[in-house]
Structure 1
Amino acid sequence: MVSALQERMQKSFVEHVSEELLTDCMRCGFCLPACPTYLMTDQDEAHSPRGRISLMKALRDGQVLWDGSIEDSLDVCLGCRACEPACPAGVQYGTLLEEARHAVLDAKRPGIKEKVVRKIVFDGLFADQKKMKRTVELIRFYQATGIQKVARVSGVMKLLPKQMSEMERVLPPIRQKLKPAKPNQTYKVAFFTGCLMDTMFQETNSRTIELLEMAGYEVNIPEDQQCCGALHGHSGEVPKAKKNAEKNILAFNHQDYDFIVQNAGGCGAFLSEYGKLLDTDEARVFSDKIVDISTLLMKAGFDRQLNAVSKEAQAVVTYQDSCHLRNVNGVWEAPRTLIGSAPGFTFIEMPNAAGCCGSAGIYNLLQPEMSGKILAEKMKGVKQVGPSVIVTSNPGCLLQMKVGIEREGLAGQMEAVHIVDFLYESMKTTTKGAR
Structure 2
Amino acid sequence: MSDTLLDKNKIWQQIDDEKENMLQLWQELVNVDCGSGNKAGVDFIAQKIEAILKTLGFATTQVEFEKAGNTLVGKIGDTSKDFIVLLGHMDTVFKDGTVAERPFKIVDGKAYGPGCLDMKGGIVIMLTALKVLLANNYSKHGIKVILAGDEEVAHYLSNASETILAESKGALAAFNFETGFLDQGVVTRRKGRYEFTMEAYGRGAHVGNDPQSGRSAIIELMHKGLDIEALTDFDKGINFNVGLFEGGTVSNAVPDYAKLTCDTRYTDYALLEEVLPKLQAIAAKQYVPDTKTVLKTVTEFQSMDEVPGTAALLQLVQEAAAECNLPQPTAKAVGGGSDSAYATVAGVPTICALGVQGVRNHTAEEFAVVDTLFSRCKLFATIMLNI
* TM tier, smaller: under 0.3
Max radius of gyration: which structure?
Answer: 2
The normalised TM-score by structure 2 is 0.26
The normalised TM-score by structure 1 is 0.24
Structure with the larger helix share? 1
